[in-house]
Amino acid sequence: MEMNEILHKLPKHLLSLVVEQPYHEYTAQDHELWRYVMRQNIHFLDGKSHGSYLEGLRKTGISINEIPHMYGMNRILKEIGWAAVAVDGFIPPSAFMEFQAYNVLVIAADIRPVGQIGYTPAPDIIHEAAGHAPIIADPEYAAYLKRFGEIGRKAFPSVNDNRIYEAIRHLSILKADPYSDPEQVRLANEQMDKLAKAGNPASELALLRNLHWWTVEYGLIGAIDCPKIYGAGLLSSIAESFYCLQPTVKKIPYSIAAAWQGFDITEPQPQLYVTPDFATLTEVLEIFADTMAWRRGGLYGVEMAIASENVATCEWAGGVQVSGIFTSVIGHDGQPVYVRTTGPTSLSVEGIELEGHSKRYHNLGFGSPVGKWKINEKSSGLHNGAPFSGRIPEPGEQVAIEFESGIFVKGKVERILHHDGKLQMITFSDCLVTYQEQTLFHPDWGMYDMAIGNLIVSAFPGPADPEAYEFSFPVPAEKTHKIQYTAEARQLHAIYEGMRTLRSGKATEELVSDLWRSLKTSFPDDWLCSVGLLETALVADVAYEVQAEILKVLNSLAIEKPSLAKLIADGLSLLYEKNSHPVGSA
pLDDT at 502: 93
- pLDDT of 302 > 50? The answer is yes
DSSP conformation class of 32: H
> Is residue 511 located within the same domain as residue 553?
yes
| Residue 143 lies in domain | 7-158+201-284
Burial class of residue 125 in the structure, from the number of CB atoms within 10 Å of its CB (0-12 exposed, 13-18 middle, 19+ buried): buried
Long-range contacts of 389-397 (CB under 8 A, 24+ apart): 392/416, 392/418, 392/423, 393/426
- pLDDT of 92 > 60? The answer is yes
- pLDDT of 385 > 60? The answer is no
Most confidently modeled of 61-75, 82-96, 352-366? Answer: 352-366
Most confidently modeled of 157-171, 221-235, 384-398? Answer: 221-235
More confident residue, 32 or 130: 32
> Is residue 336 located within the same domain as residue 278?
no
**Sign of the alpha-carbon dihedral angle for 419, 425, 427, 430:** positive
pLDDT level of residue 97 (50, 70, 90 thresholds): very high
> Is residue 256 located within the same domain as residue 153?
yes
- pLDDT of 227 > 70? The answer is yes
pLDDT tens for residues 237-262?
878 888 899 999 999 999 999 999 98
Among residues 257, 284, 311, the one where a domain terminates is 284
When pLDDT is averaged across residues 518-530 and rounded to a whole number, the result is: 96
Among residues 437, 469, 501, the one where a domain terminates is 469
pLDDT at 163: 86
The answer to which of 165-169, 278-282, 352-356, 550-554 has the lowest mean pLDDT is 165-169
Listing DSSP states for 294-329 in one string gives HHH-HHHHHHHHHHHTSEEEEEETTSEEEEEEEEEE
Nearest to 307 by CA among 122, 160, 141: 160
pLDDT above 70 as % of the chain: 94
Cα–Cα distance measured from residue 32 to residue 35, given in angstroms and rounded to the nearest whole number: 5
The answer to which of 100-104, 417-421, 458-462 has the lowest mean pLDDT is 417-421
Tell me the three state secondary structure of residue 81: coil
pLDDT at 3: 66
When pLDDT is averaged across residues 425-439 and rounded to a whole number, the result is: 96
Contact 512, 546 (CB under 8 A): yes
pLDDT at 2: 63
- pLDDT of 387 > 50? The answer is no
Tell me the three state secondary structure of residue 14: helix
More confident residue, 235 or 340: 340
Tell me the three state secondary structure of residue 548: helix
- pLDDT of 375 > 50? The answer is yes
Domain assignment present for 178: no
Residues in Cβ contact with 205 at an 8 Å cutoff, skipping those fewer than 6 apart: 93, 94, 152, 155, 156, 157, 158, 161
Cα–Cα distance measured from residue 463 to residue 353, given in angstroms and rounded to the nearest whole number: 10
Cα–Cα distance measured from residue 11 to residue 464, given in angstroms and rounded to the nearest whole number: 13
| Cα–Cα distances in angstroms (integers) from residue 583 to residues 36, 110, 539, in the given order | 21, 37, 12
pLDDT at 390: 53
When pLDDT is averaged across residues 452-477 and rounded to a whole number, the result is: 94
Domain assignment present for 171: no
The answer to which of 290-294, 328-332, 351-355, 475-479 has the lowest mean pLDDT is 475-479
pLDDT at 60: 79
Tell me the three state secondary structure of residue 19: strand
> Is residue 237 located within the same domain as residue 364?
no
Instruction: Indicate the average pLDDT of the chain.
Output: 89
pLDDT at 464: 98
> Is residue 265 located within the same domain as residue 302?
no
The answer to which of 43-52, 195-204, 524-533 has the lowest mean pLDDT is 195-204
> Is residue 280 located within the same domain as residue 305?
no
pLDDT level of residue 586 (50, 70, 90 thresholds): very low
Cis peptide before 387 (omega within 30 of 0): yes
User: Do the strands 271-275 and 220-223 form a parallel or antiparallel pair, or are they unpaired?
Assistant: parallel
* Count of CB atoms situated within 10 Å of the CB of 70: 25
pLDDT at 579: 55
Domain assignment present for 183: no
pLDDT tens for residues 55-73?
888 787 788 899 988 777 8
Write down the H helix ranges in 46-121.
52-59, 70-77, 93-101
Among residues 284, 307, 336, the one where a domain terminates is 284
> Is residue 216 located within the same domain as residue 299?
no
> Is residue 451 located within the same domain as residue 510?
no
pLDDT tens for residues 117-170?
877 777 888 888 888 888 888 999 999 999 999 999 999 998 888 888 888 889
When pLDDT is averaged across residues 393-419 and rounded to a whole number, the result is: 91
Domain assignment present for 350: yes
The CATH number of the domain holding residue 113 is 1.10.800.10
Burial class of residue 151 in the structure, from the number of CB atoms within 10 Å of its CB (0-12 exposed, 13-18 middle, 19+ buried): buried
- pLDDT of 585 > 50? The answer is no
pLDDT at 394: 84
pLDDT at 46: 85
pLDDT level of residue 379 (50, 70, 90 thresholds): very low
pLDDT at 177: 82
pLDDT above 90 as % of the chain: 64
When pLDDT is averaged across residues 422-440 and rounded to a whole number, the result is: 94
> Is residue 332 located within the same domain as residue 252?
no
Q: Which residues of 87-105 are buried (b: 16+ CB within 10 A; e: fewer)?
A: bbbbbbbbbbbbbbbbbbb
When pLDDT is averaged across residues 451-463 and rounded to a whole number, the result is: 96
Longest dimension (CA), the chain: 105
Burial class of residue 309 in the structure, from the number of CB atoms within 10 Å of its CB (0-12 exposed, 13-18 middle, 19+ buried): middle
More confident residue, 495 or 167: 495
Domain assignment present for 172: no
Contact 114, 108 (CB under 8 A): no
Domain assignment present for 409: yes
Domain assignment present for 170: no
- pLDDT of 336 > 80? The answer is yes
Cα–Cα distance measured from residue 511 to residue 522, given in angstroms and rounded to the nearest whole number: 17
Contact 554, 530 (CB under 8 A): yes
> Is residue 255 located within the same domain as residue 307?
no
- pLDDT of 233 > 90? The answer is no
> Is residue 465 located within the same domain as residue 491?
no
| Cα–Cα distances in angstroms (integers) from residue 228 to residues 204, 363, 487, in the given order | 29, 54, 44
pLDDT at 381: 42
- pLDDT of 40 > 70? The answer is yes
Listing DSSP states for 367-429 in one string gives EEE-SPBP-SGGGTT----SS--SPPPPTT-EEEEEBTTSEEEEEEEEEEEEETTEEEEEEEE
**Sign of the alpha-carbon dihedral angle for 118, 121, 124, 128:** positive
pLDDT at 120: 72
Q: What domain count does the chain have? A: 3
Q: Which residues of 396-415 are buried (b: 16+ CB within 10 A; e: fewer)?
A: eeebebbbebebbbbbebbe
Cα–Cα distance measured from residue 133 to residue 126, given in angstroms and rounded to the nearest whole number: 10
pLDDT at 14: 93
More confident residue, 455 or 474: 455
- pLDDT of 388 > 60? The answer is no
> Is residue 367 located within the same domain as residue 447?
yes
- pLDDT of 584 > 60? The answer is no
Helices then strands, counting H and E runs in the chain, come out as 22, 18
The answer to which of 13-17, 151-155, 444-448, 461-465 has the lowest mean pLDDT is 13-17
Cα–Cα distance measured from residue 399 to residue 412, given in angstroms and rounded to the nearest whole number: 6
Domain assignment present for 48: yes
